[in-house]
Amino acid sequence: MIDFRYHLVSIVSIFMALAVGIVLGAGPLKGTIGESLTQEVTQLREDRASLRTELEAARKAATTRDEFTADARGRLVGGTLPDAKVALVVLPGADADHVKAVSETLVAAGAAVVSQTTVEDAWVPQNDEAANKLTQLATEQRQALGLPAADESNGSPLDDVLATALVATDAAAANDAGKAAMEALAGAKLIDLETADLVRASSAVLVGAPIKGDVMADRDRQATRFAGLASALDRAGKGAVLTEDVGVTGFAGTSSVVRAARGDASTARALSTVDDVSLSIGQVSVVYALAQQFTGGVGQYGLGDGVSGGYPPIPAP
C-alpha cells in the first residue's frame, strides 16, 4: 500500500509541475522567454551569415592565390634546378595529376626527369612467404651491385637496390648491374619502369598518397616501409624530396608516408617532405626543397603536422 501511495504522489507531483510550467509560460514569463529566444535565434542567424561571408571571402582569396601561383609557376621556379637530373618515383595510390604536375614543375625549373618508376603494393610483403622471396631477391641483387649485407632493421633490403640503380651522386648512364637490378625488380612485379633507356639521376622526388586499408597497423607498416625507401634514395644521391597531399584536415584518420618520415628523427634530419602537392604552392615547394637539399639543407613543408614552414626558403635568383 505504501509503494502504491508513493507512486501516486510522484505522478501527481509531475503533473502539478507541468501545470505550473504551462501557467507560468503562458502568463508572466511568456514575454521574457519569447523575447530571449527570439534574440538568440536572431543572433545565431547573424553569426551564420557573417561566417558564410567570411568563408566565401577566404575561398575566393585562396582560389585567386592558387590560380596566380599556377600561372606564375614557370617564373617562380625557372632556373632553380639548372641541368639537374631527377628520378621520379611514384608510390602506390599516387594521383596521376599530382605526378604530372610535379614532373612539369621540375622541368620548368630546368631539371631533366631522367626516369619514372612506379612502385607496386608488393614492395611491402603481406606474409612470410612473400617476405622470404623479397629477402632472397635482395640478397642476390645486393651482391651484384656490390652492396653490403642488408640490415632489415633499417627498412626493406630492397630499398638500397632500387636507390643504387636509380640514383648516384654523379649522375651517369646506368651500368649493367643497375639495369639488371631494375629488370629483376620489374620481373618480380615490384616496380614498373616507364623509361626505356635508364639513366641514373643525382637526386629523387617521390610522390605518394595516403595509405588505404582496414587495419591501421598494416597501413602504418606500409607507410614506414615507403618512408624507408625515400630515405634510401636520399642517401644514394645528392638529396630527395618526399611529397603527398594530406588535404586541409591534415593527417587525421589516415596513414601517411610523409608523417612516417617526419616521425622518425634520423629520417627527418636528412629527407625533405612536402604535404600539399595538390596545390601549386606545394608543387613549387618540391622544387625549392630539392634546391635546398643540393646545398645541404633539409625541411618539412606544407599544411600538416610537423612542418618547419609553409614553404621552403625561396632560392636566390
Show pLDDT as tens, one digit a residue, over the chain (317 residues).
455 565 565 666 676 666 656 555 555 555 666 677 777 778 888 778 878 877 777 677 667 666 766 666 677 889 999 989 999 999 999 999 999 999 999 999 999 999 999 999 999 998 999 999 999 999 999 998 888 887 765 568 899 999 999 999 876 656 778 889 999 999 999 999 887 788 899 999 999 998 888 888 889 999 999 999 999 999 999 999 999 998 655 666 678 999 999 999 999 999 999 999 999 999 999 999 999 999 999 999 999 888 999 999 998 87
At residue 56, the pLDDT reads 76
Q: How is residue 29 annotated by DSSP?
A: T
Asked if 110 and 116 touch (Cβ cutoff 8 Å), the reply is: no
Angle between helices 30-71 and 2-26 (to 10 degrees): 70
Residue 293's contacts (CB-CB under 8 Å, 6 or more residues apart) are 203, 234, 238, 239, 240, 241, 272
SS3 state of residue 260: helix
Residue 83's contacts (CB-CB under 8 Å, 6 or more residues apart) are 110, 111, 112
**Residue type at 165 in one-letter notation:** A
Gyration radius of the chain over CA positions:
29
Q: Across the chain, how many H-helices and E-strands are there?
A: 11, 7
The domain locations on the chain are 2-67, 80-301
* Buried/exposed code over 292-309 (b: 16+ C-beta within 10 A; e: otherwise): bbeeeebbbbbbbbbbee
